[in-house]
Amino acid sequence: MVERLSTGITGLDELLDGGIPRGSSVLVVGGPGTGKSIFSMQYIIEGAKQFNEAGVFVTLESNPKNIYWNMSSFNWDIRKFQDAKMINIYRMKLGYNADPKRVEERIDEELNVISSLVKEIKAKRLVIDSTTALGIWFDKALLRAMLFRFVDYLKELGCTTILTSEVSNAKTQLSAFGVEEFVTDGIISLFFTPPYRSIFVRKMRGTAHDQHIHPFEITARKGIYVKPKETVLWEAIK
């Protein structure tokens, strides 16, 4: 029996036969503003809140202040969990370097930092938001090798990992660079066809997952919540 980890996102576990297989890595894919960062933070916060599981949130955004700002409308007490050593937030900064060899070294250095952050609080959950920023530094062949190494390394840490990927069209694109989907165990796509948001579990290894697209909402009180009983047609999504 595969041990499953609850996503902490209302309604989603039901689509995943109980949750994400523990230790796997899942790509959360969507266009701008589809809810990737909120999804990721909710995963970490609810892990701490409901299941007493520590989590590390790695951001590759330019300014970590944006995280607090972006999440401020939710009642998540991010700082309280940080103080309690239940959550580590880390900004991964590769810096500009034209030499791919040097960028590779920098990624290894950053992976070591992430590893110590995970060990420090015995994290069970890990988020990398977003992996798209990694792609700026490599051509496709190198990127594929890098991502393999990256995800492989993260697997060693024993966490269940969410990686986000920004695409311009989540209906046709499985990831930003077309390689991430091969190195992860699961793919969850997020759509925003105004005014409707929806979610689709595209793949989840070892899981008899739901095959339909379902609407979800974002509210200040509940964060993201999925409506597993309602479905959306593929044709209704843009």
Ligand X SMILES: Nc1ncnc2c1ncn2[C@@H]1O[C@H](COP(=O)(O)OP(=O)(O)OP(=O)(O)O)[C@@H](O)[C@H]1O
Binding interface with ligand X (CB under 6 A): 30, 32-38, 70, 73, 166, 218-220
Return the DSSP state at 138: S
Least separation, in Å, of the C-beta of 69 and ligand X? 10
CA atoms of 170 and 31, how far apart (whole Å): 6
Footprint (CB under 5 A) of Mg ion, residues 63-102: none
Least separation, in Å, of the C-beta of 129 and ligand X? 7
Least separation, in Å, of the C-beta of 229 and Mg ion? 28
Least separation, in Å, of the C-beta of 73 and Mg ion? 15
Decide: helix, strand or coil at residue 2. coil
Q: What is the DSSP string of 58-96?
A: EE-SS-THHHHHHHTTS---HHHHHHTTSEEEEE-----
Residue 218: contacted member of Mg ion, ligand X, none (CB under 5 to 8 Å, by partner type): ligand X
Which residues are 91's β-sheet partners? 59
Residue 193: contacted member of ligand X, Mg ion, none (CB under 5 to 8 Å, by partner type): none
What is the β-pairing status of strands 25-30 and 186-193? parallel
Q: Are 143 and 177 in contact (CB under 8 A)?
A: yes
Least separation, in Å, of the C-beta of 217 and ligand X? 8
Residue 116: contacted member of ligand X, Mg ion, none (CB under 5 to 8 Å, by partner type): none
Burial of 128 (C-beta count, 10 Å sphere; 0-12/13-18/19+): buried
Q: Among 34, 37, 165, 198, which residue interacts with Mg ion (rule: CB under 5 A)?
A: 37
Residue 111: contacted member of Mg ion, ligand X, none (CB under 5 to 8 Å, by partner type): none
Which of 36, 125 has the CB closer to Mg ion? 36
Binding site for Mg ion (CB under 5 A): 36-37
